[in-house]
Each structure stands twice: as C-alpha cells, then as structure tokens.
Amino acid sequence: MRRSDLLQHLVKPGPWPTPTQLLLLGACLESGAEARAAWEQWSSSVDLDHLDHESSYLLPLLDHNLRAIGVTGHPWLGRIKGYHRYIWAKNRRLLTQGSQLIRELRPLIDDQLLVIKGAAVACRYYTDPGLRPMEDFDFMIKPESAPRVLNYLHTSGWKIPRWFDPRRCVDKIPTGIFSSSYAQGIQRNDGVEIDLHWNLMPDLYRTAANEIFWDAAVPMQLPDGCEVHTLELSDLLFHCCLHGLHLSPPVPQTRWIVDAVILLQDTQSIRWQRLIDLAERFRYTLKRSFILYSSANIPRRKWASTRSECNFLQAARNIRPACSRITDGSAPILSSETAAGYKKSDLVGTS
C-alpha cells in the first residue's frame, strides 16, 4: 500500500483537501526550501500515473513553481511540463471559442454578459492562463435573455439538455423557469463546453439578488482581445469560495483554494466590508462560506489596517483553516500588477 492511499482513506469525505493534497498545495504555492520540502514529500508519496482528479488540476502550477525554485533531475519533470503545455493549448482553444461565442451573442444581448469562474480568474489574475485548467467556459447572462440565448444555441448545433426537450421549442420556455434555476452546462459536437448561468449561485434565484453583482461588474480582456465584463474582485472571491461548498456531493476542491489564494494577493483592491455585507445579505455566514473554504485562518498581516479588514480577520481567526500555508506576495505565479506587498506567514492549524 502506498502512503498516499492510506492518507486518502483516513480522511473523512468532504470539501477539505486531503493530507496528500495539502503537500501538493505547498509545493505549488510556497517558495524556496518550504516548496522544495513539500515537493519531495509529495512526490515520494504518490504515483503520478494514478493521481486523483483534483491533484491533476494543480500540475501546471506545480511545473511553474518547480522551475521557479530550481528543481532539476527528477524523472517526473518532463511529464509535468508536457501536461502544462497541453493545458495551455487546451485553454487557449477554449478561450478562443468562448470569445467567438460572445461575439455571436452580442446582437442578442448586447453587453449583458459576465465572464465568471475559471476563465475570469485565469485570464485576469494568473500570469499564464495555462496555469489554471478549465473544463468549460463559464459566463452569466440576465434571466430574461436566457430563452433567446438557448434558442440561438439550439439552432447553432449545441446539444440542448434533455430537460428542455419536453418543451420542444426552446424559445417558448416560460421565463419563470429561469427564476428558479441558475445554470446549465451545454456542449457542442466538437467537444467545446460552456456553463451558461442566468443566476450566479444555486440559491440566488431572484433577479434582484443578482443585480448587486451586475452593478459592480468591471471590464476585462480575453487573450484574443475580446472586451468583456467580469465580477469585481471582491465578488469574484466571494463566488470562488462559495462555489466549492455548493458542489454535491462535496469533494476536495483544491482548484478553488488556489484561486482564492491567488485572488487574495491583490489586497489593495479587495473590499473587505463588501465581503462581510454580501455574507450577511445573502445569509452566508463567514464561517460557512468565504473563510471556511479558502484561507480560513488568515494570519495577522500589516495590511489589516481598516476597521473592515480587522473585523474580517477577527472572524477568520476563529475558523479552522483549509490550507496550511499561503504564498508569498512576490511569488512568480502572480502578475506584477496583482502582487501587492503580500508578506508570507504561517497559517496556524487550529481545531
């Protein structure tokens, strides 16, 4: 029995990373000797041919960090680098297809579209979109636009899901359906997949509940130059952390932890009071949502200067952490404009 097998089975199922995944997170996010030590322990504990799905998601980031800290000579390095290149090419194709679809939809919905989740984080906050694997292209439209968009997708050869079939004519779907659901994955014959949202989260069905996110949206640019909008940073962070907890059944979602860590680097742009207000407005306590899933036990930092930040951190220190470490602000995985003097400090594990 491999050590990694034993560790995986001793962990109670849930959204938290396994001990083996925590080592991989350290190898991806730490720097210097700490990253090297995590890499050596993780690589001696797993079989690269039998990685769990979530660990495979981190391999591009692992390749980037191993090269940054000067790791050489390991027989896995070539394969990990090759996987990084594969994800880069796959992501570029997906983003190009997503941009093309956005251009096709603009006559129907104008600019009422937000790029969200993986595509937004990868393109706006990672130095290289290939560091963050994406299975689909996520975007959100207004609920009233959903019938028109679905009709266009239907006539353009996209595979409309079965729950639309009994209605036969997509453009006659009652709009009320879109006030009691939130999204649908849709695939095309060539394998391109989108996740079409008309509400941001499963339990934010009311149009009014989503308007706060639409009103705060900010512009961004996709790699091919397509101008779009996305969630404001604090809203993106809020959504990122909530998303993993809403998966059913809950499974360790290391990708969302990494995304949250990356987003947390831009401390000057995060609106801490907005995070608290969103949690209270939508009845998500900090314990259940934002802090609990990402970097729950945020350590004391020099940037905790405002009342909002201090209140936020005080709540955070009372919560069990999901990660054992957080990365240094000068880490090479961050673009120069997002690294904002973030100082490394241990996340102390408390029960």
Instruction: Encode the chain (351 residues) as per-residue pLDDT tens digits.
Output: 344 433 344 344 456 788 899 899 999 998 899 999 999 999 999 999 999 888 999 999 999 999 999 999 999 999 999 999 999 999 999 999 999 999 999 999 999 999 999 999 999 999 898 999 999 999 999 988 888 898 899 889 898 776 655 454 555 555 556 655 788 899 998 889 999 999 888 777 766 788 999 999 999 999 999 999 999 999 998 888 777 666 544 555 788 888 888 888 888 888 988 888 887 787 765 444 444 444 443 333 333 444 455 555 444 443 333 232 222 333 333 333 322 322 222 222 222
Q: What angle do CA 270, 272, 276 make, to 5 degrees?
A: 135
| Per-residue tokens: 88 | 């880069």
The whole-number pLDDT of residue 241 equals: 78
The whole-number pLDDT of residue 267 equals: 81
Distance CA 345, CA 326 (A): 7
- pTM score, whole prediction: 0.77
Strands 113-115 and 193-197: unpaired
The b-or-e profile of 269-304 (16+ CB within 10 A means b, else e) is ebbbebbbebbeebebebeebbbbbbbbbbbebebb
Distance CA 48, CA 33 (A): 22
The whole-number pLDDT of residue 124 equals: 94
The whole-number pLDDT of residue 266 equals: 84
The whole-number pLDDT of residue 100 equals: 96
Q: Where are the domains of the chain?
A: 3-75+233-316, 105-230
